[in-house]
């Protein structure tokens, strides 16, 4: 048995304190120690994004993060999106527009989309921008179409309950240039260690930007 | 998404279909709230006190005699439950169609990753470590690792010819038809394995019950399949086996038959240890060991007239079933019936075989054999068009089936034939003719510019193309399947007076529960939210058949509609007035419960009249009805990297009636992307019979950035035996993307691939061969 360490962090706005092995995956800490099973495991190797949570507002694959890295962090999971039982606009849009089918990718999709919408601050992101932001989270059910529509619908000013398709059309031209800028910033912030992983896939998956927010492969020791 | 409702031209006008209020409306899905808040509990989310973690020890060789199995004495085995074939109380088999597959290998292994031993321990890490402390000694035998080696009998995997099943479909005088044809055009087409890749891996939990039975919970499509298999395995009567579905994170066929295996394993460990046991596969194990789409080789020889009229079809289909039979005969059957595509043939012969290889058994995957043969015939149509110098759309227009036409099994298409409708709507919506001409112009200009040394500034040599495909897909079980299933559905009242749907069909993401709420709500005239759908649990729901073959809504939905009508009649007679909305229903229901006790109505499947099928000759009405799909795919190919980018997809699909248009479009979009992935990137590679790319890093499925915008048009040509005219939608969208992608690549580059996926490596080789 490895030694246990005490780790403190904020989970969905509430202070948490757990005693766990330092290299335990954050995913397991959340699911087992904090009993928040909304965050899912789809691959355990940083590929599917089902385990995505927000750390300081940025999407991170929690299966690649060792517990020690969570010390002092502000973590948001899917359970933290509704406020006092009231669903966020994003959650409502996912239900109404068909963004969730089997639901396994949904927690990851929702927190990643929430991070995107926090960045765009009320501006409706374009089709390509949404697809790019979500490319680190795999969905096998929806073909992504309805997820993109739901994210765009949720970005529209609050009371407007327009059809997503209409929103999408209007939004397209505005967004494109800003995507590039954003991508560069994100990419710069991240460590060199990810480059290898990125290179192995970049050839096969043009446009997949998820590596940009994926912790290094060397952090994967926390795996079961 | 768009919808167009077409009054069935063949039906007299007096039979107008009334459009009720809940049906056809996009109500919020029943499980939506739980799924967006993280409250939905999948198997791995359940907390079970005292649970043991189960693991499977698997073979590392493809074909061998097991010499010995030893537990390393240096390892601490305290608290470890170990199960081998001798611990099985009943028959050592996975009972599906046959009983040829052992639940645990005893003397032989016939594929890599075949289960041999089971382990369970409280500590998940210890049990994982124990897997490598089991030493297995083999005497290796020569394996047959693919369908060609199987046909050559490099090893005998099954019987004396390796053949699981042979099907012959014959209609008309083939020799005469070939003689009469102006030209004979041949082709050979290949497609590989495909993994379902539901995001939730297979997962099961088993517990012994106090009454000496077993209770299994888990991720599955067909509780009664597991129910049947477990009775045989544990030698228990039906009432001692209870199978309950938990929220299921996708299936696509991958959780049709495999849950009997993992469920059986969990049950054996629970049986021996007396403790609850949970087995949750990780992605590596799930990708390596569970069922996949059958690889296929299809040889087609056609006789055609110079004006494009199709005359004769001779198709030879071979599918690789893997080491054991599982559902292979049924997959082959659907594949064979669909091999003629959506076209009229004067004469046809379809000869189909499924063979055994020393690879993990293949099973169900959305489309169930049809996408393979449809890929072949649709690619072949594109080849015919090219050889005749005809536009592929014009060729399809000329030959696509119409009302009254006859299929190779002799089925007369009596109603709801949407082939031409979906073809024309797709072509129009995609601006097919205009784009085809434009891309040709642009490609020619680009080539000329490159020759003159004035190519694109970034030096890239890009070509664009558009390709189409058309298909029909039989809805429901094949042939006599539905009659044999003898499905039973029930509707009853809960103690608080709410109607409760009891069926064994599962919600796996497609929206079943929501749609059943709509159907019952509609008939009873109450809000759909008031309707409950019981968890599929064999102790509490009757066997309404498996959740497969796009049958749930069309067949079981029809049964539930009838149940609701019966309930309505009973309650209205009792109340002596028509039900007036939700509150009134609740009042009447409660009064019934108080005065008369429980209320339960049932409906058993009854074969619609006029449907005949002969299993021996393979002639007759293979399906009650077909659904139709057409697609146009636009691609951009980089001639130097041979990468194909998906630009846009347009598809029109005739599904009879969309009870919930958003859910239907969701099925179409999701199925389309799975088809696109199969066409372009999804490839299971084996090394010595082992899946070597059993990771999401190297088994690649499309991301949101790879996925093109998918423009869907739902066409509604009602079917008289479906609820409100509905036909199945689940599998149909999988049929058309792959051949359309190949056609689009051919249009862009002039290079036609006869094998999918069209990975850059494969396309590069083809481009080099023709010196591009
Ligand atoms: S579980 Fe797949 S990325 Fe973490
Ligand atoms: S909804 Fe099933 S994986 Fe996305």
| Total number of domains in chain A | 2
CA distance B520 to B514: 10
**CB-CB contact of B580 with B619 (8 Å):** no
**Scanning the structure block, which residue is given the tokens 């079917």?**
B719
**CB-CB contact of B429 with B711 (8 Å):** yes
Instruction: Establish whether residue A105 lines the binding site of ligand 2, counting it when its CB lies within 6 angstroms of any ligand atom.
Output: yes
* Res A125 pLDDT > 60: yes
B249, B695, B706 ranked by CB distance to A102: nearest: B249
CA-based nearest residue in chain B for residue A82: B37
pLDDT value at residue A1: 52
Per residue in A95-114, pLDDT (tens digit) is 999 999 999 999 999 999 99
The mean-pLDDT minimum among B14-23, B46-55, B512-521, B745-754 falls in B14-23
Residues A164, A129 share a domain: yes
Residues A15, A112 share a domain: no
CATH class of B50-142+206-279: alpha beta
* Res B349 pLDDT > 50: yes
Whole-number CA gyration radius for chain B: 27
Residues A123, A46 share a domain: no
In this prediction, residue B549 has a pLDDT band, given cuts at 50, 70 and 90, of: confident
CATH of domain B487-604: 3.30.365.10
Task: State the Cα angle at B68 between B63 and B69, rounded to 5°.
Answer: 100
Chain B residues near residue A36 by CB distance under 8 angstroms:
38
Strands B241-245 and B214-218 turn out to be: parallel
CA distance B301 to B181: 12
Q: What is the DSSP string of A119-178?
A: HHTTSPPPHHHHHHHHTTS--SSS-SHHHHHHHHHHHS-TT----HHHHHHHHHHHHHHH
Quick check: helix, strand or coil at residue A16? strand
* Ligand 2 centroid to residue B509 C-alpha, Å: 7
Which residues contact ligand 1 via a Cβ below 6 A?
A 41-44, 46-51, 61, 63
**CB-CB contact of B749 with B637 (8 Å):** yes
CA distance B203 to B246: 10
Residue spans of beta strands (DSSP E) within A67-136: 74-76
CA distance B624 to B605: 13
In this prediction, residue B1 has a pLDDT band, given cuts at 50, 70 and 90, of: low
- List, in sequence order, every residue forming a beta bridge with B645; answer none if it has no partner: B636
Does A142 contact B666 at a Cβ distance shorter than 8 Å? yes
CA distance A205 to A203: 6
Does B706 contact A206 at a Cβ distance shorter than 8 Å? yes
Instruction: Establish whether residue A128 lines the binding site of ligand 2, counting it when its CB lies within 6 angstroms of any ligand atom.
Output: no
Instruction: Establish whether residue A134 lines the binding site of ligand 2, counting it when its CB lies within 6 angstroms of any ligand atom.
Output: no
Closest CA to B684 of B189, B149, B192, B144: B192
* B147 backbone φψ class: left, alpha, beta (φ>0; ψ -120 to 50): alpha
For residue A133, tell me if it sits in a domain: yes
Per residue in B720-761, pLDDT (tens digit) is 999 999 999 999 999 999 999 999 999 999 999 999 999 999
| Sequence-ordered list of residues with C-beta below 8 angstroms from that of A194, at least 6 positions apart, any chain | A211, A212, A214, A215, A216
Q: Which two tokens stand for residue B89?
A: 């109380």
Cβ under 8 Å to A: B residues 492-511: 508-511
Instruction: Establish whether residue A142 lines the binding site of ligand 2, counting it when its CB lies within 6 angstroms of any ligand atom.
Output: yes
Residues A63, A10 share a domain: yes
CA distance A100 to A94: 6
For residue A56, tell me if it sits in a domain: yes
| Percent of chain B's residues with pLDDT above 90 | 94
Question: Which ligand 1 atom is the nearest neighbour of the CA of A47?
Answer: 3
Q: What is the DSSP letter of B702?
A: -
Stretch B227-251: mean pLDDT = 98
A38 touches chain B (CB under 8 A): yes
- List the domain boundaries for chain B: 50-142+206-279, 400-477+618-769, 487-604
Per residue in B352-388, pLDDT (tens digit) is 999 999 999 999 999 999 999 999 999 999 999 999 9
Q: Which two tokens stand for residue B282?
A: 């990780």
For residue A9, tell me if it sits in a domain: yes
How many Cβ pairs closer than 8 A exist between chain A and B? 197
pLDDT value at residue A70: 97
* Res A215 pLDDT > 80: no
| Percent of chain B's residues with pLDDT above 70 | 97
State the smallest CA–CA distance between residue B132 and chain A in angstroms: 15
* Res A182 pLDDT > 60: no
For residue A187, tell me if it sits in a domain: yes
Residue A22: CA count within 13 A, CB half-sphere: 6
The mean-pLDDT minimum among A171-185, B273-287, B394-408 falls in A171-185
CA distance A161 to A157: 9
With b for 16 or more beta-carbon neighbours within 10 A and e for fewer, the A190-224 pattern comes to: beeebeebbeebeeebeebbbbbbbbbbebbebbe
CA distance A214 to A65: 9
**CB-CB contact of A71 with A8 (8 Å):** yes
Does B199 contact A134 at a Cβ distance shorter than 8 Å? no
CA distance B94 to B366: 22
B283 touches chain A (CB under 8 A): yes
pLDDT value at residue A184: 35
Q: How far is CA B661 from CA A153, B24, B145, B712, in A?
A: 18, 7, 44, 11
CA distance B375 to B339: 9
State the smallest CA–CA distance between residue A205 and chain B in angstroms: 7
pLDDT value at residue B20: 46
CATH number of the domain to which A130 belongs: 1.10.150.120
pLDDT value at residue B754: 98
Length of chain A: 224
Closest CA to B655 of B448, B472, B532, B503: B472
In this prediction, residue A209 has a pLDDT band, given cuts at 50, 70 and 90, of: very low
The mean pLDDT of chain B is 96
B652 touches chain A (CB under 8 A): no
* Ligand 1 centroid to residue A48 C-alpha, Å: 5
A94, A165, A210 ranked by CB distance to B36: nearest: A94
Give the residue ranges of DSSP H helices in B132-249: 147-151, 174-180, 223-234
For residue A18, tell me if it sits in a domain: yes
**Scanning the structure block, which residue is given the tokens 């029109």?**
B652
In this prediction, residue B5 has a pLDDT band, given cuts at 50, 70 and 90, of: low
B710 touches chain A (CB under 8 A): yes
Residues A182, A94 share a domain: yes
In this prediction, residue B65 has a pLDDT band, given cuts at 50, 70 and 90, of: very high
A154 touches chain B (CB under 8 A): no
Stretch B219-242: mean pLDDT = 98
Stretch B447-475: mean pLDDT = 96
> Is the interface score ipTM higher than 0.90?
yes
CA-based nearest residue in chain B for residue A142: B670
Stretch B178-199: mean pLDDT = 98
pLDDT value at residue B2: 77
Does B705 contact A205 at a Cβ distance shorter than 8 Å? yes
What's the domain range around A54? 1-80
pLDDT value at residue B28: 94
Instruction: Establish whether residue A57 lines the binding site of ligand 2, counting it when its CB lies within 6 angstroms of any ligand atom.
Output: no
Per residue in B624-637, pLDDT (tens digit) is 999 999 999 999 99
Residue spans of beta strands (DSSP E) within B377-504: 462-474, 488-493, 499-502
Stretch B437-447: mean pLDDT = 98
Does B201 contact A107 at a Cβ distance shorter than 8 Å? no
**CB-CB contact of A47 with A138 (8 Å):** yes
B38, B250, B695 ranked by CB distance to A78: nearest: B38
pLDDT value at residue B621: 95
Does A100 contact B674 at a Cβ distance shorter than 8 Å? no
CATH class of B400-477+618-769: alpha beta
Question: Which ligand 2 atom is the nearest neighbour of the CA of A100?
Answer: 1
Per residue in A63-85, pLDDT (tens digit) is 999 999 999 999 999 999 999 99
Higher pLDDT, B10 or B205: B205
In this prediction, residue A218 has a pLDDT band, given cuts at 50, 70 and 90, of: very low
For residue A213, tell me if it sits in a domain: no
Residues A34, A122 share a domain: no
Instruction: For ligand 1, atom 3, name the residue with the nearest CA.
Output: A46
Does B125 contact A147 at a Cβ distance shorter than 8 Å? no
* Ligand 1 centroid to residue B696 C-alpha, Å: 10
| Sequence-ordered list of residues with C-beta below 8 angstroms from that of A69, at least 6 positions apart, any chain | A26, A215, A219
Closest CA to A49 of A207, A203, A197, A210: A210
Residues A90, A76 share a domain: no
State the smallest CA–CA distance between residue B578 and chain A in angstroms: 32
* Res A211 pLDDT > 60: no
With b for 16 or more beta-carbon neighbours within 10 A and e for fewer, the A142-170 pattern comes to: bbbbbbbbbbbbbbbeeeeeeebeebbee
CA distance B523 to B599: 17
State the smallest CA–CA distance between residue A105 and chain B in angstroms: 7
Tell me, yes or no, if the two domains B50-142+206-279 and B487-604 fold the same way: no
Q: Which two tokens stand for residue A56?
A: 């300081």
CA distance A192 to A190: 7
Instruction: Establish whether residue B511 lines the binding site of ligand 2, counting it when its CB lies within 6 angstroms of any ligand atom.
Output: no
pLDDT value at residue B550: 86
Q: Which two tokens stand for residue A57?
A: 């507002």
In this prediction, residue A17 has a pLDDT band, given cuts at 50, 70 and 90, of: very high
* B338 backbone φψ class: left, alpha, beta (φ>0; ψ -120 to 50): alpha
> The dihedral of CA B77, B83, B84, B86: what is its sign?
positive
Does B696 contact A104 at a Cβ distance shorter than 8 Å? no
Pocket test for ligand 2, best of B31, B35, B42, B199 (most atoms within 8 A of CB): B199
Quick check: helix, strand or coil at residue B554? helix
From the number of C-beta atoms within 10 Å of its C-beta (0-12, 13-18, 19+), residue B437 rates as: exposed
Residues A158, A87 share a domain: yes
For residue A10, tell me if it sits in a domain: yes
B221 touches chain A (CB under 8 A): no
Stretch B573-584: mean pLDDT = 96
B240 touches chain A (CB under 8 A): no
Does A131 contact B124 at a Cβ distance shorter than 8 Å? no
Question: Which ligand 1 atom is the nearest neighbour of the CA of A64?
Answer: 4
Quick check: helix, strand or coil at residue B310? strand
Instruction: Establish whether residue A175 lines the binding site of ligand 2, counting it when its CB lies within 6 angstroms of any ligand atom.
Output: no
CATH number of the domain to which A16 belongs: 3.10.20.30
B252 touches chain A (CB under 8 A): yes
Instruction: For ligand 2, atom 2, name the residue with the nearest CA.
Output: A102
CA-based nearest residue in chain B for residue A97: B662
Cβ under 8 Å to B: A residues 53-112: 77-79, 81-82, 87, 91, 94-98, 100-107, 110
For residue A162, tell me if it sits in a domain: yes
Residues A184, A148 share a domain: yes
Instruction: For ligand 2, atom 4, name the residue with the nearest CA.
Output: A139
Task: State the Cα angle at B733 between B727 and B738, rounded to 5°.
Answer: 150
Does A101 contact B510 at a Cβ distance shorter than 8 Å? yes
| Sequence-ordered list of residues with C-beta below 8 angstroms from that of A27, at least 6 positions apart, any chain | A39, A41, A44, A51, A62, A63, A65
Per residue in B90-129, pLDDT (tens digit) is 999 999 999 999 999 999 999 999 999 999 999 999 999 9
Whole-number CA gyration radius for chain A: 17
Instruction: Establish whether residue B479 lines the binding site of ligand 2, counting it when its CB lies within 6 angstroms of any ligand atom.
Output: no
Greatest CA separation for chain A: 57
Residues A105, A177 share a domain: yes
Chain B residues near residue A210 by CB distance under 8 angstroms:
703
B1 touches chain A (CB under 8 A): yes
Chain B residues near residue A40 by CB distance under 8 angstroms:
42, 199-200, 249
């Amino acid at each position: 048995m490895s030694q246990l360490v005490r780790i403190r962090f904020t989970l969905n706005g509430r202070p948490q304190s757990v005693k766990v092995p330092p290299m335990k995956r954050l995913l397991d800490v959340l699911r087992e120690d904090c009993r928040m099973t909304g965050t899912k495991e789809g691959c355990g190797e940083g590929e599917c994004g089902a385990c995505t949570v927000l750390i300081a507002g940025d999407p991170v694959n929690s299966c690649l993060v060792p517990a020690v890295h969570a010390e002092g962090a502000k973590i948001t999971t899917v359970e933290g999106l509704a406020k006092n039982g009231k669903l966020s606009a994003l959650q409502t849009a996912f239900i109404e527009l068909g963004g969730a089918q089997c639901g396994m990718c949904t927690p990851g999709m929702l927190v990643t989309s929430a991070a995107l919408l926090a960045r765009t601050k009320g501006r409706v992101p374009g089709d390509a921008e949404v697809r790019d932001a979500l490319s680190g989270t795999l969905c096998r059910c929806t073909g992504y179409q309805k997820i993109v529509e739901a994210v765009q619908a949720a970005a529209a000013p609050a009371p407007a309950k327009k059809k997503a398709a209409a929103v999408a059309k209007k939004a397209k031209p505005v967004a494109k240039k800003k995507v590039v800028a954003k991508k560069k910033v994100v990419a710069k912030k991240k460590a060199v260690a990810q480059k290898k992983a990125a290179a192995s896939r970049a050839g096969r998956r043009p446009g997949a930007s998820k590596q940009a927010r994926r912790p290094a492969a060397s952090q994967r020791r926390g795996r079961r | 998404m768009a919808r167009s409702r077409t009054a069935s031209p063949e039906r007299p006008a007096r039979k107008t279909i009334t459009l009720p209020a809940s049906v056809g409306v996009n109500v919020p899905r029943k499980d939506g709230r739980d799924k967006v808040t993280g409250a939905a509990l999948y198997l791995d989310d359940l907390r079970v006190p005292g649970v043991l973690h189960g693991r499977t020890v698997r073979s590392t060789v493809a074909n061998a005699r097991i010499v010995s199995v030893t537990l390393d004495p240096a390892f601490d085995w305290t608290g470890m439950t170990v199960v081998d074939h001798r611990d099985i109380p009943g028959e050592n088999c996975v009972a599906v169609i046959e009983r040829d597959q052992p639940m645990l290998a005893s003397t032989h292994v016939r594929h890599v990753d075949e289960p041999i031993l089971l382990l369970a321990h409280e500590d998940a890490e210890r049990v994982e470590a124990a897997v490598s402390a089991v030493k297995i000694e083999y005497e290796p035998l020569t394996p047959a690792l693919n369908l060609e080696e199987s046909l050559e009998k490099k090893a005998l995997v099954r019987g004396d010819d390796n053949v699981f099943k042979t099907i012959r479909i014959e209609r008309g005088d083939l020799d005469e038809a070939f003689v009469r044809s102006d030209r004979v055009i041949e082709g050979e087409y290949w497609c590989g394995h495909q993994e379902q890749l539901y995001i939730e891996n297979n997962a099961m939990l088993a517990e012994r019950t106090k009454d000496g039975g077993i209770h299994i919970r888990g991720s599955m499509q067909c509780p009664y399949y597991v129910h049947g298999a477990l009775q045989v395995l544990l030698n228990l009567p039906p009432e001692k086996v209870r199978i309950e579905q938990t929220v299921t994170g996708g299936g696509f066929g991958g959780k049709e038959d495999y849950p009997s295996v993992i469920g059986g394993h969990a049950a054996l460990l629970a049986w021996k240890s007396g403790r609850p046991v949970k087995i949750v596969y990780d992605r590596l194990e799930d990708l390596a060991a569970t069922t996949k789409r059958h690889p296929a080789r299809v040889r087609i020889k056609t006789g055609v007239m110079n004006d494009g009229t199709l005359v004769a079809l001779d198709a030879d289909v071979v599918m690789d079933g893997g080491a054991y039979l599982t559902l292979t005969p049924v997959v082959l059957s659907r594949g064979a019936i669909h091999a003629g595509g959506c076209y009229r043939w004067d004469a046809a012969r379809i000869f189909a075989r499924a063979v055994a290889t020393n690879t993990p058994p293949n099973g169900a995957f959305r489309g169930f054999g049809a996408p393979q043969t449809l890929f072949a015939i649709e690619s072949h149509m594109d080849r015919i068009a090219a050889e005749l110098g005809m536009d592929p759309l014009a060729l399809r227009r000329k030959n696509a089936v119409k009302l009254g036409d006859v299929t190779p099994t002799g089925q007369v298409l009596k109603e709801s034939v949407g082939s031409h409708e979906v073809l024309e709507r797709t072509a129009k919506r995609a601006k097919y003719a205009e784009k085809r001409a434009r891309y040709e112009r642009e490609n020619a200009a680009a080539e000329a510019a490159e020759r003159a040394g004035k190519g694109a500034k970034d030096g890239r040599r890009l070509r664009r193309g558009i390709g189409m495909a058309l298909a029909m897909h039989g809805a429901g079980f094949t042939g006599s399947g539905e009659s044999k299933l003898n499905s039973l559905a029930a509707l009853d009242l809960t103690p608080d007076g709410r109607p409760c749907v009891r069926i064994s069909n599962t919600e796996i993401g497609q929206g079943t529960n929501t749609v059943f709420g709509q159907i019952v709500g509609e008939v009873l005239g109450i809000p759909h939210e008031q309707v409950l759908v019981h968890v599929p649990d064999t102790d509490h729901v009757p066997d309404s058949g498996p959740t497969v073959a796009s049958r749930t809504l069309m067949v079981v939905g029809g049964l539930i509609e009838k149940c609701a009508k019966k309930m309505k009649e009973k309650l209205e007679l009792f109340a002596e007035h028509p039900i007036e909305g939700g509150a009134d229903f609740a009042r009447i229901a409660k009064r019934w419960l108080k005065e008369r006790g429980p209320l339960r109505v049932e409906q058993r499947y009854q074969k619609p009249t006029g449907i005949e099928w002969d299993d021996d000759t393979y002639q007759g009405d293979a399906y009650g009805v077909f659904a139709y799909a057409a697609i146009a795919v636009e691609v951009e190919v980089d001639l130097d990297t041979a990468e194909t980018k998906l630009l846009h997809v347009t598809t029109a699909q005739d599904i009879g009636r969309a009870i919930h248009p958003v859910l239907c479009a969701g099925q179409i979009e999701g199925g389309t992307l799975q088809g696109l992935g199969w066409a372009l990137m999804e490839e299971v590679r084996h090394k010595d019979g082992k899946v070597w790319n059993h990771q999401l890093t190297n088994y690649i499925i499309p991301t949101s950035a790879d996925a093109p915008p998918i423009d869907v048009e739902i066409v509604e040509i009602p079917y008289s035996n479906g609820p409100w005219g509905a036909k199945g939608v689940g599998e149909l969208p999988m049929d058309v993307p792959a051949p359309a992608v190949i056609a689009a690549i051919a249009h862009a580059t002039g290079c036609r691939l006869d094998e999918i996926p069209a990975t850059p490596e494969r396309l590069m080789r083809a481009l080099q061969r023709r010196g591009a």
